[in-house]
Amino acid sequence: MALSGWLAGQPSTIREAVERARIASVSRPVEERAMSNRLFWPLVLIAVGILFLLDNLGYLPGSAWGYLWPVLLIFFGLSVLLGRGARPEPVEDSLGLDGAASARISFKHGAGVLDVRAGAEPDRLYQGVFHGGLEKRIDRQGDALQATLEARPTGWTQWMLPWNWAGGRGGLDWDVRLNAGTRLALSFETGASEARLDLTDLKVTDLRLQTGASSTRLALPARAGWTRAQISSGVASVRISVPAGVAARIRGAMGVGSLSVDQARFPNRAGAFESPDFETATNRVELEVEGGSGSVVVS
């Protein structure tokens, strides 16, 4: 308690240094397990090489190919057993506002479940639990904050472990709460993931979403004034919800995919789907959609 009281009275640079030290101490076990993973598969290759060497020297009865698959299965089984003990531990992290009135946050999340919504403490820009580790970059310019939150890189062998094939069990999932009183510009880059982005209670004025082979559910802001949003999707399923009372203008260009818009709310007018009261609405969204072979639904 005395330490937290002392920190509260220190300059922001000291508080940030203490916070970075805490995050490093939490993240160290993840780094140690990543090192173990990097060593495991080179040992597999060495074992297979020794197997063929013994075959060439005539020490093995039969062909080395007859031993190869059993050896690989044994090593894969060991990988699964060791991997259960090496499942990435969650990293809890947050960032203080320290007087910032606006912020830009970039999320770079590859796989797993990304869950973003309002709910951070009044003095925090964000609070979250990040499975699999977190790399972040913070920049402060006057009363504006810029944060980049990126998943810690993992080796290709991590994808061979069953608990990383899908989200919902820890894996590489992120659960992030944002400050509801701060003007926000949000950017999302997601890969083979499930994204649940509930921005209803957030003051998001600029939104950019780039997603690959994923499933995304996006609820747009309800009381942010004018929000500009750009959605770029590949082989993805994107469902976008416009809150009641929010006007919208929607333009879209799809490849072989489909764009479905609720025309009862947003009639088609000269190449755009637009609310009748878009020009005069207090809360409105200007939405641009570009898609590949997936589907985008706006309702």
Buried b (16+ CB within 10 A) or exposed e, 94-121: bbbbeebeebbbbbebbbbbbbbbbbbe
The pLDDT assigned to 76 comes to 67
pLDDT, one tens digit per residue, over 114-166 is 999 999 999 999 999 998 788 999 999 889 999 999 987 554 444 445 444 44
pLDDT, one tens digit per residue, over 176-187 is 999 999 999 999
Its pTM stands at: 0.70
C-alpha span between 239 and 165 (Å, rounded): 23
The pLDDT assigned to 29 comes to 45
Q: What percent of the chain shows pLDDT beyond 90? A: 47
* Predicted confidence (pLDDT) at residue 24 exceeds the cutoff of 50: no
**Which residues, 6 or more positions from 196, have their beta carbon under 8 angstroms from its beta carbon?**
113, 114, 115, 116, 117, 217
Tokens 């009862």, located at residue: 264
pLDDT, one tens digit per residue, over 247-262 is 999 998 887 778 899 9
The pLDDT assigned to 38 comes to 56
Nearest Cα neighbor of 296 from 245, 246, 248, 235 is: 235
The pLDDT assigned to 14 comes to 52
Burial class (CB in 10 A: 0-12, 13-18, 19+), 263: exposed
